Amino acid sequence: MKKVLTAIYILLTLAVGALFIYSAFTKIYTLESFETFQYTIVEYVKLPWLMAAIVGRALIGLEFALGILITVHIWGKGKWALKAALLLTIVFSIYLVYLWAYAGNDINCGCFGDAIWMSPSASLVKNLILIIILSLLIKLHKDILTNKLRWLTFIICIIATATPFIYYPIPDNQPQWLKKGRYQLDMAALYVPNKADAPKIDLYKGKHIVAFFSLSCPHCRMAAYKMHIMKQKNPALPLYMVIAGKDEYLADFWKETKAQNLPYTRLKGDDFTAMVGFSWPVIYFMKDGWVEANTNYILLNQSTIEEWLQKP
């Protein structure tokens, strides 16, 4: 009977460790999934962008580290790795309750990135099972290291936690300022007579961040989602979208980006590509119709925009 229980504990340990590793992997295996995780932290936890970039990487790294330690039965003095996993699961569960109350249950909690869509309620059930298993392992199971080797847990933890910071270094968030070759953008297609959704503002006057998005472009959707969050945090930001693409993609675009809080106009494909070419998204810092800088969805930064707006 004792051997059967030991075998069960080993299988549970492997399952828990694999779950932590997989959870970390799904948040970081593509740049899009990694950025989405950061944006979720900004939108729902209300952290500043830089803090979200640091916390996001640290949480993924910690998940990865704990998954490795748990899987190989290296838990440290007092089984601290298992206890840390239990604490992290409880913290995530508290966040899920908040997310459920704040945003409802019809959203992806992000526990497994974009790989597995999971509502807050479903993830809470998963976490409850995980909490029970971890509590049993802490109380009844044993690790494999002697006391003399328990320092190894900290080495593994530090290396694994640092991995996301190495794999995705925090960018400097500086757009490409056009010191030479500053040019005026021809936006006549946006203002043709009788265009129903022509801009209600004059993009040739003042400062604007004008973003050109294709409805089917995944990077465009990431940029639109990021701009949606920026507009939430600072409604005064002069953000504007120019959108092209088939009508069939529009509903999914709004669902994924939540960017209905941004003013926009749509263009036909030929007019769109004549204006900005065939590589998207295109995001311009514009002053009085002149392009002063361009950026991408990764480097697009709220504080940089706010600093630029303050300059004469």
**Residue in the block written with tokens 């400097």:** 172
Residues with Cβ within 8 Å of residue 253, at least 6 apart in sequence: 215, 221, 224, 243, 245, 259
Q: Determine the pLDDT at residue 173.
A: 81
Q: What's the pTM?
A: 0.86
Two tokens, residue 77: 């003095």
Q: What share of the chain is helix, strand, coil (3-state, %, to 5)?
A: 60, 10, 30
For each of the domains in the chain, give its residue range(s) and CATH number, in order of start: 2-167 (no CATH), 176-310 (3.40.30.10)
Q: What is the mean pLDDT of each run of 10 residues along the chain (312 residues)?
A: 80 94 93 89 91 94 94 86 95 94 88 89 95 92 64 87 92 82 86 92 95 95 96 96 94 94 94 91 94 92 94 86
Instruction: Calculate the CA 178 to chain-centre distance.
Output: 29
Q: What is the pLDDT of residue 147?
A: 56
pLDDT score, position 183: 83
In eight-state DSSP terms, residue 243 is: E
**In whole angstroms, what is the distance from residue 211 CA to residue 280 CA?**
9
pLDDT of residue 245: 93
Distance CA 214, CA 220 (A): 6
Q: Answer for the pair 71, 11: CB distance below 8 angstroms, yes or no.
A: no
Q: Which residues pair with 209 in a beta bridge?
A: 239, 285
By DSSP bridging, strand 207-214 and strand 239-244 are parallel
Give residue 191's pLDDT: 94
